[in-house]
Chains A and B, each alone.
Chain A
């Protein structure tokens, strides 16, 4: 048997490709004569023609399915009744207006029992949906729980996180910086923004959500300014202070031991503090010499770096500096190390840090220039089964959100639901108002309350619904917005805006951490009941 690979297929000439693909009735005699003349002199086109004829024969030779035995039962009421027929007929029968008016004037014929039963069931379903919709609407307006079906996120009482006993007094001018590890329940790192009196860095770890802290030793040569980075894909890996051109440090055992880390040239283009780690792979998202986004990837802890590009050309913002909405915001981590990147109206997926790309889906009209229509922010579950493209575009212009339940293949608009839309004049604006995604697919968002826009509350959108609800009281107890007169100064339990982190929690739940304007952090457990 001949097992060698076939010779390379030559493409037909572009000028003749359409003529070659034409059917027997599609060319005039003159066109056909011209094509024949060309075929006599062109091996590629001649070969294509032979192949096309063979392909046609192959397609026709496919075993045909058995035809229908008989005509389907005639619906006695010749109306395109159900969804499929409605869609089909509207698309296929012109003009639609005739179709609709015809429906309105058509005489109802006698109904078969099956048809009548179907219509009765459909009527009951429609009434049910309408009633449920009104109930949900009322529930939304009156903030009643239990409108949506299935377990709802319930937030427990807030707890003020303790600070390590060695932490300096806040009056000393420093700041206690908390860094939760989002994929390990209760694992927190904290550091003091300024060096200790002896010049060392102050660094702690807690494995019980801040109840107890352990001081971590740092290398004697470590920078004294504390800055930590952790990644959900590498729970035991911690990076320490790589924010400047000086080399940083990494630990593979939650900060007990440290090694030097030298970032690749150009890594700082998007102010990346440290690489993102996914197991043994570390990478930066940066820009190349042409201002285009690139992944800088290493799998040997920085000994060698590879550069992988993106599948599109980024139109650089006319504003000075890098495009503010590109970079770390424009991505969703995929639990196996992949990333989702929306650009203009298209969603791209890479499973291997940019080595290969796959086009997933598109939405909107792509008229927003270099930013996606949804504003450049996307939220998704780690398994990519649910995406939200959220509407904040950095200019306080809110649009409907977009939701995809089929891994980005198709998108549907969902309403922007919190009752008050933040504007540039409301205190809560910008990053603090960006919604977060809970494990069950609920969106959680801070928004001004209708009665007093100076106050804020959490609002949530359950998966599969378009109904926003004000979140439960415990969740909102803690959220009090500082008045504009108070400014950003210390004012316990008021936020301008808060820094919120959602992490995995115990027993399949999640934890929510909220850093307040005074630098303290509160946390609460989220469970589904």
Chain B
């Protein structure tokens, strides 16, 4: 499907079907079992398979690349430590995302307890983005818009949406991983998508307004 961006007039090809992530469950089972027994090489293979995805998921979840990487490290350590406790069949991917999610939650909880947020109206209307500059900055501005739009989502909606979009999990898998009902996941994703859509659109509009030449600029500052 070809989609035209009404704000820029640009068009791009959009697939309505998200790409399915490949998860090699059969070999993974063997790796998980060996890692459970203490096999470093097996766990290293699992690490390689999930490293980039967990880093990306956590970075998007907390809105900070460096923090996301730190949390990813904590996640893998936690997974290594917890694996021997797991009895029976384990779907490693959803389980790892669950650990990652809880690690992020704990981190955000601690950060919220420790940081002293500015307390004023500026916090209520916190959606401020850098002006979209000329072309070299445009990509950065778009990335910033996406991060800010994600940040407006309620935590549970953000988690479910990212696990579906970024992690490639079905809503049933997300429900199992997070310990909530499939119906709840569906509602969270639905709500999250709509919130994200509106926030992103609002940010796009704001960017366009900020970058519009002022009518009373008097000819600008260029020599």
Q: Is B28 an interface residue (CB 8 A)?
A: no
Convert A47-59 into 0s and 1s, putting 1 for each residue whose CB lies closer than 8 angstroms to a CB of B.
0111111111111
Convert B48-66 into 0s and 1s, putting 1 for each residue whose CB lies closer than 8 angstroms to a CB of A.
0001100110011000011
Q: Enumerate B161-188 residues with CB–CB distance to A below 8 Å.
A: 161-162, 164-166, 168-172, 186-187
How many residues of chain A have a CB within 8 Å of chain B? 72
- Chain A residues with CB under 8 Å of B196's CB are 55
- Chain A residues with CB under 8 Å of B20's CB are 24-25
B124 to chain A, nearest CB (A): 6
Q: Are A24 and B17 in contact (CB under 8 A)?
A: yes
- Chain B residues with CB under 8 Å of A409's CB are 112
- Chain A residues with CB under 8 Å of B131's CB are none
Q: Which residue of B lies closest to A71 (CB)?
A: B47
Sort chain B's interface into a size bin. 35 or more
Q: Determine the distance from Cα of A4 to Cα of B74 in the docked complex, in whole angstroms.
A: 46
Q: Are B194 and A17 in contact (CB under 8 A)?
A: yes
A50 to chain B, nearest CB (A): 6
Q: Determine the distance from Cα of A99 to Cα of B78 in the docked complex, in whole angstroms.
A: 13
- Chain B residues with CB under 8 Å of A74's CB are 40, 43, 80
Q: Which residue of A lies closest to B209 (CB)?
A: A3
- Chain B residues with CB under 8 Å of A24's CB are 17-18, 20
Q: A-side binding surface: helix, strand, loop or mixed?
A: loop
Q: Is A26 an interface residue (CB 8 A)?
A: yes
- Chain B residues with CB under 8 Å of A48's CB are 193-194, 197
Q: Determine the distance from Cα of A56 to Cα of B98 in the docked complex, in whole angstroms.
A: 21
Q: Determine the distance from Cα of A407 to Cα of B17 in the docked complex, in whole angstroms.
A: 44
Q: Enumerate B9-36 residues with CB–CB distance to A below 8 Å.
A: 9, 14-20
Q: Are B103 and A406 in contact (CB under 8 A)?
A: no
Q: Determine the distance from Cα of A380 to Cα of B15 in the docked complex, in whole angstroms.
A: 54
Instruction: Say which one of A87-95, A137-145, A455-463 lies at the interface with B.
Output: A87-95
- Checking A68, A89, A336 against B82 with a beta-carbon cut-off of 8 angstroms, the contacting residue is A89
Q: Are A53 and B15 in contact (CB under 8 A)?
A: yes
- Chain B residues with CB under 8 Å of A18's CB are 186-187, 189-190
A20 to chain B, nearest CB (A): 7
Q: Are B106 and A58 in contact (CB under 8 A)?
A: no
Q: Are A67 and B52 in contact (CB under 8 A)?
A: yes
* Chain A positions near chain B (C-beta within 8 angstroms): 1-7, 9, 11-12, 17-18, 20-26, 48-68, 71-72, 74-75, 78-81, 83-85, 87-89, 91-93, 98-99, 102, 336, 351, 356, 358, 383-385, 405-407, 409-410
- The 28 listed contacts between A and B (C-beta, < 8 Å) are A1-B212, A6-B7, A6-B201, A20-B190, A20-B193, A21-B189, A23-B164, A23-B168, A23-B170, A26-B172, A48-B197, A49-B16, A62-B56, A62-B146, A67-B52, A68-B73, A71-B47, A71-B76, A74-B80, A78-B38, A78-B83, A83-B106, A84-B103, A89-B81, A89-B82, A91-B102, A92-B102, A384-B119
* Chain B positions near chain A (C-beta within 8 angstroms): 1, 3, 6-9, 14-20, 38, 40, 43-44, 47, 51-52, 55-56, 59-60, 65-66, 68-69, 72-74, 76-78, 80-87, 95, 98-99, 102-103, 106-107, 109, 112-113, 116-117, 119-121, 124, 142-143, 146-147, 150, 161-162, 164-166, 168-172, 186-187, 189-190, 192-194, 196-198, 200-201, 204-205, 208-209, 211-212
6 more CB-based (< 8 A) A-B contacts, given A61-B146, A78-B80, A85-B81:
A4-B208, A6-B201, A59-B166, A75-B80, A84-B106, A91-B102
